[in-house]
Structure 1
Amino acid sequence: MAKLTVRDINVKDKKVLIRVDFNVPIHGGVITDDNRIQAALPTIKYVIENGGKAILFSHLGRIKEESDKKKNSLDIVAKRLEELLGKEVTFVPETRGTLLENAINNLKSGEVLMFENTRFEDLDGKKESKNDPELGKYWASLGDVFVNDAFGTAHRAHASNVGISDNIDVAVAGFLLEKEIKFIGGTLENPERPFVAILGGAKVSDKIEVINNLLKVADTVLIGGGMAFTFYKAMGYEIGKSLLEEDKVELAKELLEKANGKIVLGSDVTTGKAFSNDTEVNVREVDSILKDEMGLDIGPKSIKEFSEIIKNAKTVVWNGPMGVFEMSNFAKGTIGVAKAIADNKDHLTSIVGGGDSAAAVIEFGLEDGFSHISTGGGASLEYLEGKELPGIVAVKDK
């Protein structure tokens, strides 16, 4: 899917609207992870270094009532961006109006402006998230060209992505969005084989369409995490107090039959008596889980089995942890899979989907061992499902 990118257009002296994804975690007035800000820097720098006027906007958190505004202002993000760019960022605490328009019209080439959280508009009838036509048209009127670099919202048709694209002549992808299209979209269209997909996380229901789509294109689908126990139940095993979606057991049976051997589950699990890092820890074969135990991670044999399959792969896509990696006693499976991928980076194209698995890779300091760490949670999942994402469709084709 070849899309026009920011390098295909002339940005000199143009007002360049850039939809970024600065939906970063903030606790106690401090940004605890600025990875999404860092990921947008190449596009921002390209625009200002080539004489464009960069006008940035993003959502942050959810705005349900007036009191949500204070804790979800982008002011703190603008300050962090200023530090990372080493350049002044003008922050306008408005989403529309004369103050914003005047600030944009006074921008000089090479300067950066950020305006307020796009979801502030949701207080008035969800205008941003329901793609209000008038709002998209208004935001489009503020610039000459539009660069969408927010993969994290690409699976949603909002006023700040699709609404602007529909009302402006030039709508292109930024470098981050281009990278997501290349790695995830390109891999699903034409993977180098063997292609191994690794799925984890809590629920089968969250990944049904992903499994269905990956069974069509992957050579092997490794399944760990809480979702594995619904499959073990479908195979007739005792799973004790492990996480179970009772209403998905029949579906798990159908998927196992349909997979015809492509789905691989580990042969052992690490269990605990309670959902706690201080619980008694045991390793059990999958046919020997006790009734008063719950599976909280894949076991050492499973780590070896999965690692061997990864070692022989040419392409790996991973979405979802193998266990409760936030607890050190049940993080070994997630660490083991991450290390197996990183150890084979020389011959492996590896993509880790957004959310918990991406957070784990970064937490373990293994990000340099991956070809691509996606910045989108829901967007990554829907892309892996094979869906067309509105934010990508809205960007002009080459």
Structure 2
Amino acid sequence: MVRFDSTILLGENLDLSSQSASKAIYTIKYLHECGAKVILVSGWSRKINFKLHAAQTVADILSSVLQHKVTDLRCISCNMPLKREDLQKADILLLDNLSEYKEEVANCSKFAELLSSEVDILVNDSFGQSHKILASTVGIARFCYASVAGFSFEENLHQLQKIAKTKKKPYIAIIGGGNLKNKAAALQFLESICDALVFVGQMSFQIMHAVGHIIPTNLVERDANKAALDIVQFSHDKNVLMSCPKDFWCMNQRFTKQLEVFPAHGVPDGWLPVDLGPRSLEEIYSLVTKSKRIIWFGPGKFSSSSPYTGGASKLAQMLYKQSQCECEITIVGNTACEVIKNEASSLSSFTMLENASVVWEFLKEQKLPGVMALDRAYPFSIDWSAAYHDPSQPLVVDIGSGNGLFIMGMAERRKDLNFLGLEINRKLVRRCLDSVHQSGIMNAYFIGTNATSTFCSIVSSYPGELVLVSIQCPNPDFNKPENRWSMLQRSLVEAVADLLAHKGKVFLQSDVKAVAMRMKEQFLQYGKGKLRLSHDCHSVKIDGNTWLEDNPFGIRSDWEQHVMDRGAPMYRLMLSKSTG
């Protein structure tokens, strides 16, 4: 299944030569040419193309774009999953419009399972939705054998990461739009990597107000003054230039066609700023011409605008001229991208990220749900020498390490091994790392992550051997049966089987028999024939099944100790890797 971006492939003015469109098309064609049955799914509306009526119309548009027949299937219903015989109707199929289903935005598990019917692999190629938690991008991942990024998604993520990692200097951010309070964390991140922040939109009034200029109250955001003061102070501490407009084109509120230029600190009553003035543009031009890296977030947008002043067009022309001087330029937001398309004779020197919401969330240092749902989300780069005194020692990994009692106890007992706890609860991870630091333990480390998505990325980079993996007392939510096994997926089992050293062990335990049985079945089914049950003379039979009588390590997790204290049974088993 390919979750495609309708704004790219179904837009009214589709440019097939653009990088986003060409890579989105290549994702689908590549899968088709490799012999896959391709099921396309997305949400669309007439806002992006007035021709978008029924699924049949969309299928016809996609057939023309892909140069392959696309057949629509009107079959999404919570009581009617896709059937295998439906796949015989065509090689490329289109499901109904997801925008018509509230279950999509609610990330309804039942709806996600329905979408996954007859699907082996999810290919997410809708990067513009990656900041949202949707059934078609996040919920569906737990029901598929694998979840991977399409070529368009991958390229956009790469360009997004380049924003934060570029080494080119000077680096300036030109920032339009409003809602400063919501973007404060992102703005402080930009201050940490940029040499200058140039405000050209509604946020500039808040910054000017924070530094002491008299600004009409109707231009200042409510409850954003503290955030603005923090941003101003942070720029001072980091020695980052902060520039606001020096003058504005203003519109007479009574005679809306009457325009005049006023200094930024002297806009008279009855006049409203609508665009950047000539002095403002001159200052921006001076900064732009000295820069080697620029990111532009939207045009200068104020509470009103005028078609007669052209500030955004002039700014776009500046950027195009500078792009010819080996300056890397990223354009963020639909409106800014449209302005650049209209003013630049070539787009080859620009990186275009049309969904600004995704970029702002990324710059807030938030993990994007659509990315986290992928099997190798956010590949980790870990300095193992900083994590361990001796990173060549064999490694033990505890998946779902909780408060770290097992890892800490084992690290104290076995100095010849290194211990790694993977835990999704980042507050627990911070506490565990504090405990490691305070105790002076040199062979224990914790990472806050979803191990299902990142185990392979993390452990494959470790320089020593992986000798033991433990999964202890996962917490199934029996009130939500569809989530009961989501922590243990086929991709994780296969990664463990692949990375485990010869004669390495897998230790599984739970106080819930159904969970222990499920984990056992998953490892035996998806372990690629490399894992075998390991019994010893201390094994016991409970309800007809053989389990380990005691914890073989002598170190208990907090939940295991709680279970033992109340006299309840603990279902334990050990598997061993029998092949290299």
TM-score bin, normalised by smaller chain: 0.7 to 0.9
Separation in 1, partners of 2:55, 2:220: 40
Name the counterpart of 1:290. Answer: 268
SS in 2 for 1:380: helix
**Number of residue equivalences:** 363
Q: Does the 8 Å CA contact 1:226/1:296 hold for their aligned counterparts?
A: no
Q: Which has the higher contact order (CA 8 A, sep 6+)?
A: 1
RMSD between aligned residues: 3.0
SS in 2 for 1:181: helix
Name the counterpart of 2:292. Answer: 314
Letter in 2 for 1:81: L
Separation in 2, partners of 1:20, 1:156: 15
Name the counterpart of 1:323. Answer: 301
Q: Does the 8 Å CA contact 1:155/1:389 hold for their aligned counterparts?
A: yes
Q: 1:78 to 1:103 in 2, by over 3 A?
A: farther
Q: Does the 8 Å CA contact 1:226/1:295 hold for their aligned counterparts?
A: no
Q: Pick one of 212, 217, 228 that aligns with 1:236.
A: 212
Separation in 2, partners of 1:391, 1:184: 14
Q: Pick one of 238, 241, 251 that aligns with 2:227.
A: 251
Q: Does the 8 Å CA contact 1:319/1:353 hold for their aligned counterparts?
A: yes
Q: Does the 8 Å CA contact 1:351/1:370 hold for their aligned counterparts?
A: no
Name the counterpart of 2:98. Answer: 118
Q: Does the 8 Å CA contact 2:84/2:118 hold for their aligned counterparts?
A: no
SS in 2 for 1:334: helix
* Residue 342 (str. 1) matches residue 320 (str. 2): yes
Letter in 1 for 2:229: K
Q: Does the 8 Å CA contact 2:39/2:94 hold for their aligned counterparts?
A: yes
Name the counterpart of 1:384. Answer: 363
Q: 1:319 to 1:86 in 2, by over 3 A?
A: same
**Worse-superposed segment, 197-206 or 32-41:** 32-41
Letter in 2 for 1:50: C
Q: Pick one of 68, 77, 88 that aligns with 2:58.
A: 77
How far did 1:392 drift? Answer: 0.7
Name the counterpart of 1:168. Answer: 144
Separation in 1, partners of 2:95, 2:85: 10
- Which has the larger strand fraction? 2
Q: 1:247 to 1:350 in 2, by over 3 A?
A: same
Letter in 2 for 1:380: V
* Residue 106 (str. 1) matches residue 75 (str. 2): no
* Residue 224 (str. 1) matches residue 205 (str. 2): no
Separation in 1, partners of 2:276, 2:218: 12
Q: 1:79 to 1:370 in 2, by over 3 A?
A: farther
Separation in 1, partners of 2:108, 2:308: 48
Runs of 5+ consecutive residues of structure 1 not aligned to the other structure: 1-16, 63-69
Q: Does the 8 Å CA contact 2:131/2:361 hold for their aligned counterparts?
A: yes
Q: 1:356 to 1:166 in 2, by over 3 A?
A: same
SS in 2 for 1:128: helix
Separation in 1, partners of 2:81, 2:298: 44
Q: Pick one of 15, 18, 27 that aligns with 2:2.
A: 18
Letter in 2 for 1:53: K
Letter in 1 for 2:186: V
Q: 1:303 to 1:104 in 2, by over 3 A?
A: farther
Letter in 2 for 1:85: L
Runs of 5+ consecutive residues of structure 2 not aligned to the other structure: 377-456, 458-580
Letter in 2 for 1:49: E
Name the counterpart of 1:143. Answer: 119
Letter in 2 for 1:121: Y
Q: Pick one of 52, 66, 91 that aligns with 2:72.
A: 91
Q: Does the 8 Å CA contact 1:21/1:151 hold for their aligned counterparts?
A: yes
Name the counterpart of 1:352. Answer: 331
Separation in 2, partners of 1:187, 1:227: 21
Q: Does the 8 Å CA contact 2:9/2:24 hold for their aligned counterparts?
A: no
* Residue 47 (str. 1) matches residue 31 (str. 2): yes
Q: TM-score, normalised by structure 1?
A: 0.81
Letter in 2 for 1:358: C
Q: Pick one of 331, 343, 347 that aligns with 1:368.
A: 347
Separation in 1, partners of 2:254, 2:125: 39
* Residue 186 (str. 1) matches residue 162 (str. 2): yes
**Worse-superposed segment, 75-84 or 195-204:** 75-84
Q: 1:145 to 1:275 in 2, by over 3 A?
A: farther
SS in 1 for 2:38: strand
How far did 1:182 drift? Answer: 0.7
Q: Does the 8 Å CA contact 2:247/2:262 hold for their aligned counterparts?
A: yes
Q: 1:269 to 1:366 in 2, by over 3 A?
A: farther
Q: Does the 8 Å CA contact 1:22/1:37 hold for their aligned counterparts?
A: no
Q: Does the 8 Å CA contact 2:75/2:96 hold for their aligned counterparts?
A: yes
SS in 1 for 2:104: coil
Letter in 1 for 2:242: I
Q: Pick one of 133, 139, 157 that aligns with 1:157.
A: 133
Letter in 2 for 1:269: F
1:348-395 Cα distance to aligned partner (Å, 9 max, x none): 222212233223333445661653211323222212322110101111
1:260-318 Cα distance to aligned partner (Å, 9 max, x none): 14321122221111398x52111222222212211111112221221222222222222
**Identity value in percent:** 23
SS in 1 for 2:72: strand
Name the counterpart of 1:271. Answer: 250
How far did 1:223 drift? Answer: 0.7
Separation in 2, partners of 1:289, 1:326: 16
SS in 2 for 1:327: coil
Separation in 1, partners of 2:254, 2:296: 25
Larger radius of gyration: 2
1:121-162 Cα distance to aligned partner (Å, 9 max, x none): 31xxxx222222222223223222111011111011211011
1:46-79 Cα distance to aligned partner (Å, 9 max, x none): 22233332211012259xxxxxxx9864443332
1:1-45 Cα distance to aligned partner (Å, 9 max, x none): xxxxxxxxxxxxxxxx1011215799xxxx644467666222122
Q: Does the 8 Å CA contact 2:185/2:364 hold for their aligned counterparts?
A: yes
